[in-house]
Structure 1
Amino acid sequence: MRTITLDTATLAYDDVGPDRGVPLLLVHGHPFDRSMWHPQLQHFSAERRVIVPDLRGYGASPGAVPDWAAFADDLDGLLDGLRIPRAVVAGLSMGGQIALELQRRHPSRVAGLLLADTTAAAEPARAARLAMADRLLAEGMDPYAVEMLYRMVTTRAPAAVADHVLAMMRGTDPAGAAAAQRARAERPDQLPRLRSVAVPTVVVVGAEDDLTPVSDARTIAGLVPDAELVIVEDAAHLPNLEQPVAFNGVLARLLARVDRSGDRSATSND
């Protein structure tokens, strides 16, 4: 683990792999940490640079975000500090929403997008999101973690996967999670601008995800030009952990597509 101090935050992150091809930035969801990407870090760091941060208020990154934009601006600052001009950005759930916000606020940073088990619409239940923030502060993470475990993964998930997911949720700082919930309640509606997303994009969803269902994924894929939609069988909200081989295959295709487009651009500029 490494840390970087930005103007407004200190982020913990992993930075592994050779500086070859377009780097990969993995953005975790709520209420998790960077360890949710372990199968992808292990697989892709053999071939390229992979950056996996703990978002502010999660994992080993202290503090709490003041607003929704801070998540995207933190990632922009991280890439700046690591001297990475562009990356393929993969985000799951809240991480997918943050990936879209990063592409909206800092479009030159994003060479490609993988949006997993997420939604682009504005918060449909703002009051419920704010009430959840209050609940996490009052009760801590454990009741929420137990309640949500078998919505995050299927009941057929390997015990090691379920245990990891439960441990991540239980280990999250309630103050950081509550701040994120309040920020998410105010996030903008991204749907109207999706037709202007001009980078290679893949939308992935677990077939049994009832938190951000297949219909949400279809909506995003139907709006982003040339987006690929992939439905992962035998997975709920965390297909990257329940079905890592299938998920890694999808991500590998996206990375190859971005690498090829970069090669064509370099050739055309010679």
Structure 2
Amino acid sequence: MSTAELDGISVAYDDLGTGLPVVLVHGHPFNRSMWRPQAERFSREGYRVITADLRGYGETTLPAQSKKTGLDVFAKDIARLADRLGLGRFVLGGLSMGGQIVMEFHRTYPERVAGLLLADTSPQEETEEGKLVRTETADRVFAEGIGWYADEVLTKMVSPDNVRTMPDVAAHVLQMMRTTPKEGAAAALRGRAERPDYRDSLTQVKVPSLIVVGTEDEFTPVSDAELMHDLIPGSTLAVIEGAAHMPNLEREAEFNTVFAQFLKETN
């Protein structure tokens, strides 16, 4: 693990391998270890893979009294870390909230993106009902901690069948959620409630793009992936059978196969 002091926070990250830079952004409420299988494999196969904990997650700090973290703040953090690491253009990928951060980054810094991976995410702005739910959830997480949330959503993050048959994956996902600092999770939930609509900016994507989704995903269903596939010119859509919201962990081999092909075509 390495750390970088950026804009008042200490960012924890891993930087593995050499070659085409690939930056992978974790979702909520996880940390950079969700990408460990991909970082370990692709760093051995000619890529420089960077994974970082977002502010308020994992081992990255959150400024004192920070109550809300917008997707634009996360995107700026990625840009600053990329600057620190000497990255010009790079492949950028994210899952769930991480995918929305990727969309925000592309909208703000399109010239820095060499390729896009959007996994189990959605481009639409938050609904009024969704804003209320996220705000209420943020308040409860901040007051009570995140344990109740982790227990409640485990079988949506990982399909019930996979929780039963892949206990190591389920334990990893549960551990990431339970150890996420409540302050960071609550701040991100409040910021995500105000996320904009990325559908128009996706039509302007001019780089290779891979969209991945699990067939059992309840949070961001296949229809959301199909929408992004329709919006992004020349994009590739991969639907992973038997996975819910975490196909890179639930169906590691299948995910890595489509990602490897994408990276090969992006080089």
**How far apart are the structure 1 equivalents of 2:8 and 2:143?**
27
Counterpart code for 2:51: V
**How far apart are the structure 1 equivalents of 2:123 and 2:70?**
17
TM-superposed CA distance for 1:210, in Å, is 0.6
Partner of 1:263: none
Offset from partner CA, 1:93-123 (integer Å, 9 cap, x none): 0000000111111112210001000000001
**How far apart are the structure 2 equivalents of 1:146 and 1:39?**
24
Offset from partner CA, 1:207-226 (integer Å, 9 cap, x none): 00011000011001111001
**How far apart are the structure 2 equivalents of 1:105 and 1:9?**
21
Offset from partner CA, 1:239-264 (integer Å, 9 cap, x none): 000001111111111111111xxxxx
Partner of 1:37: 35
Counterpart code for 1:223: L
Q: Is the Cα contact below 8 Å between 1:9 and 1:74 reproduced in 2?
A: no
Within a 5 Å distance, the mapping from 1:16-165 to structure 2 comes to 16-18=16-18, 20=19, 22-46=20-44, 47-63=46-62, 66-124=69-127, 125-157=130-162, 158-165=166-173
Counterpart code for 2:35: W
Counterpart code for 1:94: M
Q: Secondary structure at the match of 1:15?
A: strand
Residues 1:42 and 1:109: Cα distance change in structure 2 (over 3 Å) = same
* Count, aligned residues: 257
**How far apart are the structure 2 equivalents of 1:170 and 1:130?**
19
Q: Secondary structure at the match of 1:215?
A: helix
Offset from partner CA, 1:189-234 (integer Å, 9 cap, x none): 0012211111110110000001100001100111100111110001
Stretch of structure 1 that moved more, 7-16 or 241-250 = 7-16
TM-score, structure 1 as length reference? 0.93
Offset from partner CA, 1:160-217 (integer Å, 9 cap, x none): 0000000000000010000000110111100122111111101100000011000011
RMSD over equivalenced CA pairs, Å: 1.0
TM-score, structure 2 as length reference? 0.94
Within a 5 Å distance, the mapping from 1:170-189 to structure 2 comes to 170-189=178-197
**How far apart are the structure 2 equivalents of 1:24 and 1:9?**
22
Counterpart code for 1:58: Y
**How far apart are the structure 1 equivalents of 2:161 and 2:93?**
25
Q: Secondary structure at the match of 1:76?
A: helix
